[in-house]
């Protein structure tokens, strides 16, 4: 309901947020004739190339190319989407955003939510005052943990007094109704028709939404009471499954396109204090699908850094499932000796922690490490068990090249021959021994080809049909196998099952028609689709030529995308001088231009 903004409203928001005034709140702006200049906040530079035009109400950086209007600036600097940026600017200009829903009930809901934000903000200040103005065990604990006063203030840490109803009495004195306080999850009713504080004798962690508004609290005990951590119950403004602790800070401090995902409040706070301000945590719950979507929205890669104990390993594997489902890029960081981030940084420092980030593992390497730790006795029996487990892990790898590399590694780790490990992976059936795994592939044509995903779905389908036609030629006329594979490589086929079939055909040139169903039983649905393809009136030369042209187009699109990523990395590299940045950007820009020319020729 709040997601639709009429054009008149957007224009009103822009009109009431003078771009120079807004940008001046974030960076130092200097007048330069009819325009204004500044050092660009989006890349490192020594000479101002960031220009703001008051007349047109736009900005442009001639160093990195970033530009747009005031909404675009807020989206970029605050790392917000369009809707949240408009809301932020509207709030700045004191413009009320009216919902397209005009019912009284809806207006009442908005009013109630605003009241809850107000109460939570007031409570956050109350807890902070308790922590910093009155001697208490919470401040002693946090000081002993090395938390500085600046960090206490940044995160708004606080203390819930060891009292039955301090907060109840305080909020009533401030004029709030008990019913509203209870709806915020801050108090509970007792049997005597009274109320008591939900949080008592706990260190308090305000939980912020993405805009920095307090939506709930987490409380940590100072004794042996259970539960150790207690979160606010779900309310109309707080949902644990949709919230990541520290994301309001991290989204403005994404480093190298990464977010570090840790287990708890103290890990986030310790990392921020140590300079790793791109750390977040889930709120004492397993990672959810929405968490995965949030992370993917704000970063290119997630570094998982959970404890190395049994609970931490389980949490890692649960998180991996979610991140894989949401197609997030991630690596796994396992600190030595099972240390948590706070302990590790205290012992070894920030530079060593940064080294550990760089050493973060792929999922396959993480699984292998766990398997090695489980079978670490180095006996023959243990090596056998390890080899079997590694074979299971390798069997799940899609790429034949990666499989081969990990088979080498498994053999070196266990002392068991590559041939034996291959048999364990592929089974005893010799027809599957040439990198055709016994994994079942469905006819929905799962693709992991890096080129084809960059083109429209309609073109993808045409490309796949061409693959089916080419494979049918190879299956029905073995003499075409060499002819086709002289023009294209096995890895150029975009469908995983197609690559496996062609890989086998490249080794076994002569296949009788009555052998096909048996040989490719694992790809039965794919084979059926191939044989349903009509090639009676298809010209092989024409089909192959068109396929090769499309393949060249997709590769060029991929190369251009890769070069653009390199440009972004150069712009973010603070170790380069302005001259080095400009030189590298120019070189890559020329290469992109050249590839675009090649692409246009292919499309002509």
- Kindly report, residue by residue over 20-40, the tens digit of the pLDDT: 889 998 898 988 765 789 999
Shared domain for 81 and 123, answered yes or no, is no
Q: Is the pLDDT of residue 2 over 70?
A: no
CATH number at residue 325: 3.40.1360.10
Residue 402 lies in a domain: yes
Q: What is the pLDDT of residues 314-352, one digit of tens each?
A: 889 999 989 988 889 999 998 887 788 888 999 999 999
pLDDT of 562 reads: 84
263 and 185 housed in the same domain: no
In 375-456, which residue ranges form alpha helices assigned H by DSSP?
A: 380-395, 400-414, 418-426
Which one, of 428, 427, 429, 423, lies nearest residue 410 by Cα? 423
Answer yes or no: is 246 within a domain.
no
pLDDT at 1: 38
Does 595 lie in the same domain as 552? Answer: yes
Average pLDDT, the chain: 84
Distance CA 378, CA 325 (A): 36
Mean pLDDT, residues 49-74:
89
Cα(353)–Cα(255) distance, rounded to whole angstroms?
14
pLDDT at residue 33, rounded to an integer: 61
Q: Would you state the pLDDT for residue 442?
A: 33
Euclidean distance between CA atoms 21 and 27, whole angstroms: 10
Task: Identify the domain boundary among 356, 382, 417.
Answer: 356
> How confident is the model at residue 223, as a pLDDT?
84
Where is pLDDT greater, at 182 or 513? 182
Is the per-residue pLDDT at 450 higher than 70?
no
In the β-sheet with 202-208, what is the strand arrangement from edge to edge?
158-160, 202-208, 214-221, 229-231
Q: Which two tokens stand for residue 345?
A: 């940084």
**pLDDT score, position 249:** 92
Q: Do residues 602 and 497 both lie within one domain?
A: yes
Distance set, CA 188 to CA 26, 182, 191, 192, 194 (Å): 42, 6, 10, 12, 9
Alpha-carbon distances, residue 582 vs 36, 183, 560, 589 (angstroms): 22, 56, 19, 10
Tally of residues, the chain? 604
pLDDT, one tens digit per residue, over 232-287 is: 999 989 988 889 999 999 988 887 889 999 999 999 999 999 999 999 999 877 89
Tell me the average pLDDT across 150-165: 95
> Order of strands across the sheet with 67-68?
30-32, 35-38, 50-53, 58-61, 67-68
Tell me, yes or no, whether 475 and 591 share the same domain. yes
Q: Output 566 or 583, whichever has higher pLDDT.
A: 566
- Across 196-212, average pLDDT: 94
Instruction: Say if 247 falls within a structural domain.
Output: no
Lowest-confidence segment of 21-30, 168-177, 493-502 by average pLDDT: 493-502
Instruction: Let me know whether 457 and 576 are in one domain.
Output: yes
**Residue 272 forms part of a structural domain:** yes
539 and 508 share one domain = yes
Does residue 510 form part of some domain? yes
Q: Are residues 462 and 600 in the same domain?
A: yes
User: In this structure, are 342 and 386 located in the same domain?
Assistant: no
First to last CA, the chain: 45
Specify whether 401 is located in the same domain as 495: no
Is 70 exceeded by the pLDDT of residue 579? yes
Domain boundary among 378, 413, 432: 432
Check pLDDT > 80 for residue 135: yes
Domain boundary among 303, 325, 356: 356
- Residue 437 inside a domain? The answer is no
pTM, entire model: 0.62
Cβ neighbours of 164 (radius 10 Å): 14
Q: What is the CATH number of the domain that holds 57?
A: 3.90.580.10
Domain that holds residue 540: 442-604
Query: Is residue 448 predicted with pLDDT exceeding 60?
Result: no
Query: Using one digit for the tens of pLDDT, what is the confidence trace for 508-566?
Result: 666 666 667 666 777 778 888 888 888 887 888 888 888 888 878 877 887 888 888 88
pLDDT at 430: 40
CATH of the domain at 202: 3.90.980.10
Query: Do residues 263 and 281 make contact, with C-beta atoms less than 8 angstroms apart?
Result: yes
Q: Are residues 452 and 549 in the same domain?
A: yes
Residue 251 included in any domain: no
Same structural domain for residues 396 and 522? no
In the predicted structure, residue 462 carries a pLDDT above the cut 60: yes
Question: What's the confidence (pLDDT) of residue 150?
Answer: 95
| Block residue for tokens 């045409």 | 462
Whether the Cβ atoms of residue 105 and residue 33 lie closer than 8 Å to each other: no
Q: Is residue 302, in this structure, part of any structural domain at all?
A: yes
Q: How many domains does the chain have?
A: 5
Assess whether pLDDT exceeds 90 at residue 467. Answer: no
């Amino acid at each position: 309901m709040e997601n639709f903004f009429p054009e008149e409203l957007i224009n009103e928001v822009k009109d009431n947020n003078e771009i120079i005034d807004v940008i001046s709140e974030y960076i130092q702006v200097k007048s330069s004739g009819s325009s204004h200049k500044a050092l660009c906040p989006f890349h490192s530079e020594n000479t101002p190339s960031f220009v703001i035009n008051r007349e047109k109400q736009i900005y442009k950086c001639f160093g990195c190319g970033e530009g747009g209007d005031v909404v675009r600036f807020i989206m970029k600097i605050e790392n917000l989407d369009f809707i949240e940026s408009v809301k932020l600017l509207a709030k700045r200009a004191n413009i009320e955003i009216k919902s397209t829903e005009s019912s009284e009930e809806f207006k009442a809901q908005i009013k109630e939510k605003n009241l809850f934000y107000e109460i939570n903000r007031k409570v956050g200040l109350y807890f902070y005052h308790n922590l910093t103005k009155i001697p208490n065990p919470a401040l002693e604990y946090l000081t002993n943990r090395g938390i500085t006063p600046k960090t206490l203030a940044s995160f708004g840490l606080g203390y819930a007094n060891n009292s039955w109803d301090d907060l109840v009495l305080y909020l009533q004195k401030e004029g709030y109704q008990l019913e509203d306080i209870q709806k915020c999850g801050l108090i509970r009713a007792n049997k005597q028709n009274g109320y008591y504080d939900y949080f008592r004798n706990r260190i308090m962690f305000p939980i912020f939404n993405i805009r920095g508004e307090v939506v709930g609290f987490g409380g940590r005990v100072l004794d042996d009471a259970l539960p150790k951590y207690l979160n606010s119950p779900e309310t109309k403004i707080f949902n644990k499954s949709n919230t990541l602790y520290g994301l309001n800070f991290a989204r403005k401090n994404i480093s190298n396109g990464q977010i570090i995902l840790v287990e708890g409040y103290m890990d986030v706070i310790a990392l921020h204090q140590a300079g790793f301000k791109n750390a977040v945590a889930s709120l004492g719950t397993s990672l959810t699908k929405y968490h995965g979507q949030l992370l993917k929205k704000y970063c290119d890669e997630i570094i998982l850094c959970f404890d190395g104990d049994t609970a931490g390993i389980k949490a890692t594997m649960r998180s991996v499932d979610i991140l894989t489902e949401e197609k997030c890029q991630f690596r796994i960081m396992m600190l030595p000796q099972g240390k948590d981030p706070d302990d590790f940084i205290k012992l070894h420092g920030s530079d060593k922690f940064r080294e550990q980030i760089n050493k973060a593992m792929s999922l396959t390497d993480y699984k292998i490490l766990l398997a090695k730790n489980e079978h670490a006795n180095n006996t023959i029996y243990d090596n056998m068990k390890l080899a079997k487990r590694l074979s299971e892990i390798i069997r799940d790898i899609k790429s034949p090249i990666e499989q081969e590399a990990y088979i080498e590694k498994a053999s070196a780790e266990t002392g068991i021959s590559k041939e034996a490990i291959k048999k364990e992976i592929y089974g005893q059936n010799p027809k599957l021994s040439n990198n055709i795994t016994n994994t079942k592939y469905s006819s929905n044509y799962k693709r992991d080809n890096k080129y084809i995903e960059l083109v429209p779905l309609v073109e993808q389908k045409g490309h796949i049909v061409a693959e089916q036609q080419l494979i049918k030629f190879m299956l029905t006329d073995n003499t075409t196998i060499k002819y086709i594979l002289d023009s294209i490589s096995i890895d150029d086929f975009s469908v995983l099952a197609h690559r496996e079939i062609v890989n086998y055909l490249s080794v076994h040139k002569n296949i009788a028609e009555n052998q096909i169903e048996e040989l490719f039983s694992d790809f039965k649905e794919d084979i059926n689709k191939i044989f349903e393809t009509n090639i009676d009136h298809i010209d092989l030369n024409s089909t192959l030529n068109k396929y090769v042209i499309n393949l060249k187009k997709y590769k060029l699109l991929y190369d251009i995308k890769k070069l653009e990523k390199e440009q972004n990395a150069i712009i973010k590299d603070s170790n380069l001088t302005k001259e080095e940045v400009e030189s590298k950007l120019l070189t890559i820009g020329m290469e992109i231009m050249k590839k675009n020319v090649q692409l246009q020729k292919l499309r002509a």
